[in-house]
Amino acid sequence: MKRIVALFALLALLGSTALAQLKIDLKTPLDDKEKLKLAKAGLGAYLRQAEWVEVVNVGEDYSLWIKNLKRRFKGNTLHFEADLELKTRADLGSGDLVNARHIKDSIDLHEAANLQTFEEREMSELVEKQLTKNDKFKPVPALIGTATSVPLAGTVVQQGLKYLGVDLESKFSPDQAIEAMTLGAVLFVHAKEMIDALPAKPQEKK
């Protein structure tokens, strides 16, 4: 039963083909582009798999901004906070604010620091393990699946790692992958809740 619940929770978060797609432009302030590249790539890794949204560079319905990322380490644990802002179309200026959240969380990078080789299977397992340890945001474990026997769970992480490499346009270390994918999952859950609160998108006339 738990496996079925986890699978349906994952499907609900990633969306259904019956839902109208929103076009989202994922953005960061120009001055903080380098600082926010892992967070942006991590969030994008999940958004690009969701059938209820399309990530675009132009012609968006809304822009989704990641801002004010703060990171500090305590041992091998990374504590972070960031602002997530949903805005109207940002063709001119940065758009009008629709919704915003300030997010805090932490990521345990101990095992990633000890990983000597970059193997996709090992990386996927570490990301899943990190997400299941996160008890601050209950939907996060359901997003990936709390058991490796949930077939769709591993697929989401593995595909996300592929998107991560494309968005970063470079090789990334195991600790960067875990930081990006964990932070991205937390941001994704908040983004989904913010988008769910939007007025329904009018259906296009055929």
**Following DSSP, what letter does each residue of 42-103 receive, concatenated?**
HHHHHHTT-TTEEE-SSS-SEEEEEEEEEEEEETTEEEEEEEEEEEE--SSTT--EEEEEEE
Provide the pLDDT for residue 20.
Answer: 57
Q: Find how far residue 57's CA is from the centre of its chain.
A: 17
With residue 32 as reference, give the H or E element that holds it.
none
Q: Find how far residue 178's CA is from the centre of its chain.
A: 12
Q: In which region does residue 59 sit, left (phi positive, over 0), alpha (psi from -120 to 50) or beta (all else)?
A: left
pTM above 0.95, yes or no: no
Q: Identify the segments of the chain with pLDDT beneath 50.
A: 1-8, 10-11, 15-19, 136-138, 140-141, 143-152, 205-206
Provide the pLDDT for residue 120.
Answer: 65
Provide the pLDDT for residue 136.
Answer: 46
